[in-house]
Amino acid sequence: MDKKYTLDDEYYYGIIRENIKKYRKAKNLTQQNLADMTDISREYICDIENKHRNKHISISLLGRIAEALDLDISIFFKNNND
């Protein structure tokens, strides 16, 4: 059986991007706060969260963000629009 996959990397990066922003704001953190907590530049955090910039994120950086926000990394993959 040939299965067609219709969702690409950009789809998943979009979900991750929105979730990072959502959970950062839920914790009342600025991008600078999150940057300081993760040792990631504020500019990079901004690039990750901005849908108009094609910035991808490594699993290790995603893990650092999850740890800083006190979340399980899997929460970033949950599509809240489903």
pLDDT tens string 51-75: 887 678 899 999 999 999 999 999 9
**Is residue 21 included in any domain, yes or no?**
yes
Residue 44 belongs to domain with CATH number: 1.10.260.40
User: The pTM is what?
Assistant: 0.87
Domain that holds residue 41: 9-77
Instruction: Kindly report, residue by residue over 1-57, the tens digit of the pLDDT.
Output: 677 888 888 889 999 999 999 999 999 999 999 999 999 999 999 999 998 876 788
Q: State the DSSP string of the chain.
A: -PPPP---HHHHHHHHHHHHHHHHHHTT--HHHHHHHHT--HHHHHHHH-TTS-----HHHHHHHHHHTT--GGGGG--TT-
Q: Structural domain tally of the chain? A: 1
